Amino acid sequence: MHRVTLQDVAERAGVSMKTVSNVVRGYRHVSPAMRERVQTAVDELGYRPNRIGRNLATGRSRMLGLAFPDLRRPYFAELAHVFARVAEDRGYRLLLSETGGTEEGERAVLHDREAGIVDGLVMHPQALSAARLDEQRRGMHVVFLGEDPQPADTDQVAIDNVAAAEEAVRHLVASGRTRIGFLGHETGTLSRTSELRLEGYRMALAAAGLEHDPALLVPRSVGDAVDAEAALGAALDGGLRVDALLCREDLAAIGALRALRRRGLDVPGDVTVIGWDAIDLGESTDPSLTSVAPDTRALAERALDLVLERLDGFDGPGRHVTVGHRLVLRESAPAAER
Amino acid sequence: MHRVTLQDVAERAGVSMKTVSNVVRGYRHVSPAMRERVQTAVDELGYRPNRIGRNLATGRSRMLGLAFPDLRRPYFAELAHVFARVAEDRGYRLLLSETGGTEEGERAVLHDREAGIVDGLVMHPQALSAARLDEQRRGMHVVFLGEDPQPADTDQVAIDNVAAAEEAVRHLVASGRTRIGFLGHETGTLSRTSELRLEGYRMALAAAGLEHDPALLVPRSVGDAVDAEAALGAALDGGLRVDALLCREDLAAIGALRALRRRGLDVPGDVTVIGWDAIDLGESTDPSLTSVAPDTRALAERALDLVLERLDGFDGPGRHVTVGHRLVLRESAPAAER
DNA sequence: ACGACTCTTTACAGCGCTGTAAACTCGTAC
DNA sequence: GTACGAGTTTACAGCGCTGTAAAGAGTCGT
């Protein structure tokens, strides 16, 4: 079971190996007659290029790493899908990795370039500090997703979390809501993303002349729907009264739907709910979820632009790109009656 | 920016390249003194192996392909997570690919071995026939997931769909349900998976002495929750009366919850609902979903066992492995009152 | 006619690492 | 003392492909 190599084809066609390579790669300086002759031999022998040989010779794998904390979270799975599509359009494959949101996991994916497995990396960091990220990446081209602190000379892409939160809260205010809670940020140390979303939430409350009441903030310890449900349930049972909720992510919103309904509170009548991420399943919850939808296509496009420009030799300062978002209106927070 | 190679370390430590390689790979026939001397040089120079060089020399990438139709479907994203973990325990990386459920997509992943990118493949086929799969794989070691028709001498892993469906229906029967519908199979040609689940459904009905009424089958054209909701909604509005539903997958069950609630039907009181796949979010729907849960851990373990045994030289006939499942009881179909 | 340029093909070396086998040393058994 | 086996280190060739530069032919402009 000997694999067919360039040399085999070269012998068959009576030309040099390099000429076979030129034909297979589509190099333009090959005569039509030669191209046909070699292609015939390629077809007869069923030659298929060995990417490993090519990768070693070129020093490029044409594969990019994409690292998320956990693929089971619908938003990340859906984002991975978009990234894979965009990368494919650019002639790249994606190697998906889960970091588990741990330092060790993040450190591991940063080493993939050194191993020659990937040419660059797009990553959603969660555990490593900016200094450690910089130290561990050792020159690897990385684009960071989100707004967590990152090394100064690296590139990142994010949505404007402050503006998006403001917009969501404004929508709730326009619907006549006055006791607007926030559900789903971390119980202990806040991630930068949570900070920004809370900042936007507070700014919009202030702009609406609503007093910010810390009692309206409901954190959770684990970022899933079950934990959000429990956290909100406990708060409601402990006397929390809200007429609206901005949730840090859709999973928290889904947990909120259960917690509210279990206590006889109607959504959106008694409590209006807005999620974040606009996952596909948000269309099929009951009520369907109004949610902040990042422009995931633009996110992927920009991120890949940035990392590929680095691969092409761009050596300028780190760039911070903000992509769009919109508020997807569904049943949990319908268009305001005006 | 010259990468540090085995040769650099060898010169630094005053030994041969091969000795450095032996140390780095943990080859046992190296003296402790030599090991320490080389490791010191490795650490000083910050040497990191280039996997591409190793892959070319060994003919192995230690990467396995995992191909699903669409990562956005929660079940596949969650299964991918389990596979990645199991593969990692075995010293392999996974290269995830989406086939889009198309022949072209499936054909493309079957070629990755020839390119040298992966050593083998685990795949959930949907579009290619058994004959075309056999033709296209050209000797590549593939393990197929599910029970669709596959080449005779290949390996596959699946749960017993018939038995699982029987069990689910028995649970509904034990809850006193007599008009048990099935929601979510394909509108046109049935996949083998749907056939088997329907077969188990029918067998359990017969065993319970319940007449099988074709009007109780509600197919859908697209496999998402929105389409299932529409299909069931139309059927209910067209006069369908059921007191229970077995759904082909959890997404269909989630769609069913909305359709039923929108028509004033209570779950599980008026209609008991069972889904399939036991996705994480099934715990946070309202009511939470009772669902057939494949033993995904065993699925991943067996599938990787099979493909790795092929890589190790096993050349026997194709093996069909059935792994376990269980019925996860939640609110949509609670334990029967007995 | 000569020089410059473009097109075409090819020889050569190298990308980084490993498998194989040889050479050498040491310890043990007969 | 000798032979054998195990441990240790190393030389060599090769895995498949590409970049670089050279060689040769043809065309065009001066």
Q: What is the ipTM of this complex?
A: 0.92
Q: Which DSSP helix (H) or strand (E) runs through A98?
A: strand A93-98
CB proximity list for A31: less than 8 A, separation 6 or greater: none
Predicted confidence band of residue A115 (pLDDT cuts 50, 70, 90): confident
Identify the pLDDT of residue B82: 97
Q: What is the pLDDT of residue B1?
A: 47
Residue-wise pLDDT tens digits, A197-244:
999 999 999 999 998 899 999 999 988 999 999 999 999 999 999 999
The predicted structure's pLDDT at residue B338: 56
- The values of phi and psi at residue A111, to 5°, are -90, -5
| Alpha-carbon span A7 to A82, nearest angstrom | 39
Which class does domain B6-49 fall in?
Answer: mainly alpha
d(CA B180, CA B203): 13
Greater pLDDT, B134 or A82: A82
In tens, the pLDDT along A300-316 reads 999 999 999 999 889 88
Fold classification of B161-294 is Rossmann fold (3.40.50)
Provide DSSP, A35-68. HHHHHHHHHHHT----HHHHHHHHT---EEEEEE
Residue A338 has pLDDT above 70, yes or no: no
Distances in Å between the alpha carbon of A29 and those of A18, A23, A26, A55?
Answer: 12, 9, 9, 22
Facing A77 at nearest CB: one of B72, B97, B255: B72
Cβ-Cβ contacts under 8 Å, B116 against chain A: 50-53
Query: So what CATH class is A63-159+296-325?
Result: alpha beta
- Better pLDDT: B125 or A295: A295
Domain boundaries, chain A: 6-49, 63-159+296-325, 161-294
Work out the pLDDT band at A1, boundaries 50, 70, 90.
Answer: very low
Is the CB of B152 less than 7 A from some atom of nucleic acid strand D?
A: no
- Which residue ranges of chain B lie beneath pLDDT 70? 1, 337-338
Average pLDDT of every residue of chain A: 93
Report pLDDT for A325. Answer: 97
Do the domains B6-49 and B161-294 sit in the same CATH topology, yes or no?
no
**Strand C lies under 7 A from the Cβ of residue B170:** no
Tell me the average pLDDT across A243-260: 97
Shortest distance between the Cα of B48 and any Cα of chain A, in A, equals 7
Residue A331, pLDDT score: 97
Q: What's the CA gap between A79 and B76, in Å, rounded? A: 14
B63-159+296-324, CATH topology level: Rossmann fold (3.40.50)
- In a mutagenesis test of the A interface, which of B284, B288, B310, B331 is the best target, namely the one with the most A β-carbons within 10 Å? B284
